[in-house]
């Protein structure tokens, strides 16, 4: 009988996908929010420079809209052996990420490799937080995400008869977490999970991050405590907040 000896040099690779194909309507920035200037650079340039300082990443793939003609102007130094761009963005974030994974497969990624997805719009991410997530998930069967236990009281709201937003009920916050990115899963799990979720338009609408697609298959992603500064620039006022935070770091 032959015994299979594990290869001690085997190491799954880790590829980052940065979905950057949104229009950022809620930010009302007069164009895609990822190119809005913050502390002297386009927002996404900060995001990519943080990821470039994560030694555990083998390569980073930025997913752009097929019609994007701004990226190279705003991030002129991105490119090369470990910094890839693909204009394969889809109609939703989940589609953009799925198309990005197809691109990774075309570039040789294997099912056991890790895919770390990080929003272009989370420009305050710090390399140490990415590293911590990867370290905590390294031996996890499912993978995981940065998230924060909910601090605020959570309200369900509706539009009242007078048109004002009104609280209809208070949602128990005790087991609630606010999901952030990065989120990291094996390619061989995340790719079919997103494909499955997107196959049905009803479930597709509820897939707002990678973890939700994994959960829909019955798995439980690991929650790794993130940081309050890891905001997703979403609303008009967020640009000034991101700018203040980045400038105090510099």
* Nearest CB to ligand C5P, comparing residues 89 and 143: 89
* Nearest CB to ligand C5P, comparing residues 140 and 229: 229
Stretch that binds ligand C5P, among 15-23, 35-43, 128-136, 144-152 (CB under 6 A): 15-23
For residue 5, the minimal CB distance to ligand C5P (Å) is 42
For residue 58, the minimal CB distance to ligand C5P (Å) is 21
Query: How many residues interact with ligand C5P (rule CB under 6 A)?
Result: 18
Do the bridges between strand 37-38 and strand 83-86 make them parallel or antiparallel, or are there none, so unpaired?
A: unpaired
Does the protein bind ligand C5P through residue 120 (CB under 6 A)? yes
For residue 24, the minimal CB distance to ligand C5P (Å) is 6
* Nearest CB to ligand C5P, comparing residues 51 and 63: 63
Does the protein bind ligand C5P through residue 17 (CB under 6 A)? no
Burial of 63 per CB tally in 10 Å (0-12, 13-18, 19+): buried
Closest CA to 198 of 91, 88, 65, 117: 91
Q: Which of 34, 60, 180, 230 binds ligand C5P (CB under 6 A)?
A: 34
Binding to ligand C5P, residues 74-93 (CB under 6 A): 89-93
Does the protein bind ligand C5P through residue 70 (CB under 6 A)? no
Q: Which of 121, 124, 184, 207 binds ligand C5P (CB under 6 A)?
A: 121
Contact present, 165 and 134 (Cβ < 8 Å): no
Locate tokens 């790719």: which residue? 191
Contact present, 104 and 185 (Cβ < 8 Å): no
Binding to ligand C5P, residues 183-212 (CB under 6 A): none
Residues 6+ apart with CB under 8 A from 74: 35, 41, 42, 44, 45
Binding to ligand C5P, residues 151-170 (CB under 6 A): none
222 backbone φψ class: left, alpha, beta (φ>0; ψ -120 to 50): beta
Closest CA to 100 of 216, 247, 236, 210: 210
Q: Which residues on adjacent β-strands are paired with residue 165? A: 159
Stretch that binds ligand C5P, among 13-21, 102-110, 194-202, 216-224 (CB under 6 A): 13-21
Alpha helices in 75-186 (DSSP H): 93-106, 127-137
Does the protein bind ligand C5P through residue 227 (CB under 6 A)? no
* Contact residues for ligand C5P, defined by CB under 6 A: 19-22, 24, 34, 63, 89-93, 96, 119-121, 232, 234
């Amino acid at each position: 009988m032959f015994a299979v000896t594990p290869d001690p040099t085997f190491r799954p690779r880790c590829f980052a996908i940065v979905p950057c194909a949104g229009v950022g309507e809620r930010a009302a920035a007069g164009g895609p929010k990822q190119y809005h200037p913050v502390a002297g650079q386009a927002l996404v340039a900060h995001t990519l420079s943080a990821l470039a300082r994560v030694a555990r990443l083998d390569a980073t793939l930025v997913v752009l809209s097929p019609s994007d003609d701004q990226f190279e102007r705003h991030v002129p130094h991105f490119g090369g052996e470990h910094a890839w761009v693909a204009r394969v963005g889809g109609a939703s974030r989940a589609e953009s990420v799925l198309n990005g994974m197809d691109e990774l497969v075309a570039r040789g990624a294997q099912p056991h490799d890790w895919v770390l997805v990080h929003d272009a719009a989370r420009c305050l991410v710090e390399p140490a937080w990415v590293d911590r997530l990867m370290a905590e998930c390294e031996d996890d069967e499912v993978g995981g995400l940065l998230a924060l236990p909910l601090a605020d009281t959570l309200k369900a709201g509706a539009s009242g008869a007078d048109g004002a937003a009104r609280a209809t009920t208070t949602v128990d916050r005790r087991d609630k977490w606010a999901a952030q990115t990065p989120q990291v899963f094996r390619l061989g799990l995340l790719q079919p999970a997103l494909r499955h979720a997107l196959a049905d338009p009803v479930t597709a609408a509820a897939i707002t991050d990678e973890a939700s697609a994994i959960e829909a298959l019955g798995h439980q992603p690991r929650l790794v405590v993130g940081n309050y500064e890891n905001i997703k620039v979403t609303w008009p006022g967020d640009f000034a907040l991101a700018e203040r935070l980045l400038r105090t770091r510099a």
